[in-house]
Amino acid sequence: MPDLETLTRRADAPAAAPFHAAPDTSGAACRVTGLVVRRGARETLRGVDFTLGATERVALIGPNGAGKTTLLNAVVGLVPAAGGAVETLGERLDRARGRARARARTGFVFQKHGLVRRRSALSNVVHGLMARPGAWRGWSAAIAPAPWRADAMEALAEVGLADRAGDRADRLSGGQAQRVAVARALVSRPRLVIADEPTASLDPAAGREVMELFSALVARRGAALLFTTHDMEHALAYADRVVGLRDGRIALDRPAADCALTDLEALFDG
């Protein structure tokens, strides 16, 4: 089964759902109930209950192996549940059609931006529209429909890179490449954005710049954001709520405004 990054790089998400899909009316971007995920004989998630509000920004924190990435994968149906249930954007993920619809309305950002190095910044952002009906995975910016190119240019302008639209991805700095990845994730106006350590490969200044921009753009769109981070300051600054995992269970779930650094750091002790 592909992981999150492979799913995005393939750029061939099913077109089962219309682009202007109706927003989730359940009041939550996702609901996880009693979730159990196993890898071999080991339970990587054990009875996890978790709800992400429709416009909420949640930081997932915890030590390596705590289950953070597994939970991200579960939220979009990329790992099977051995127990419990997951519903994302009003779709049941135990059904193939539901998984396809949920993924088509979800944007993804990763630690390593996953851009096509020899394609332009604009072409990479156009790839973020591949879930639209009629999309073909081989389209570049040059042959994509004009409205798609316009949407991609608008997304690049929002991240401050309209002037680099024609530059190949391998000629961009790390921070610029990650901003292109943010534009690619947001160009389809998803209802949910998943980000796995989106600033871990950047220096502190670039990381702050990317997270501030990223979090603000998601909030402006009224979408939900679920991101993992090892930077506790990012968790406090750019999330509405912090959820801490330890040994496959939720050990902390609290509004960011009510957390102190010591609360978060305690998850990594022992």
Q: For residue 128, what pLDDT is reported?
A: 86
* Phi, psi of 185, deg, nearest 5: -70, -30
> Which of 264, 261, 159, 154 shows the shortest CA–CA distance to 206?
159
Confidence of residue 218 (pLDDT cuts 50, 70, 90): very high
Query: What amino acid is encoded at 149 in this protein?
Result: R
Q: What is the pLDDT of residue 134?
A: 53
Sequence-distant (6+) residues with CB within 8 A of 122 are 141, 149, 152, 153, 156, 165, 166
CA dist., res. 182 & res. 228, Å (int): 15
User: Chain-centre distance of CA 5, in angstroms?
Assistant: 10
Q: How many domains does the chain have?
A: 1
Q: Are strands 42-53 and 28-39 parallel, antiparallel or unpaired?
A: antiparallel
Count other Cβ atoms within 10 Å, centred on residue 41.
5
pLDDT level of residue 8 (50, 70, 90 thresholds):
very low
Task: Write down the pTM of the prediction.
Answer: 0.84
For residue 19, give the amino acid letter: F
Share of the chain above pLDDT 70, in %: 85
Enclosing domain of residue 212? 4-268
Q: Is the pLDDT of residue 22 over 80?
A: no
Alpha carbon dihedral 79, 186, 53, 220, in 10-degree steps, equals: 170
CATH code of 180's domain: 3.40.50.300
Which parts of 4-114 fold into alpha helices (H)?
Answer: 4-10, 68-75, 96-104
Q: How confident is the model at residue 6 (pLDDT cuts 50, 70, 90)?
A: very low
Residue 18: its pLDDT value, please? 30
Tens-place pLDDT, residues 69-111: 999 999 998 888 999 999 999 998 888 888 888 988 899 888 7
Tokens at 67, concatenated:
């289950």
Report pLDDT digits (tens) over 136-173.
Answer: 555 555 567 788 889 999 999 999 999 999 999 999 99
Higher pLDDT, residue 28 or 131: 28
Q: How confident is the model at residue 31 (pLDDT cuts 50, 70, 90)?
A: very high
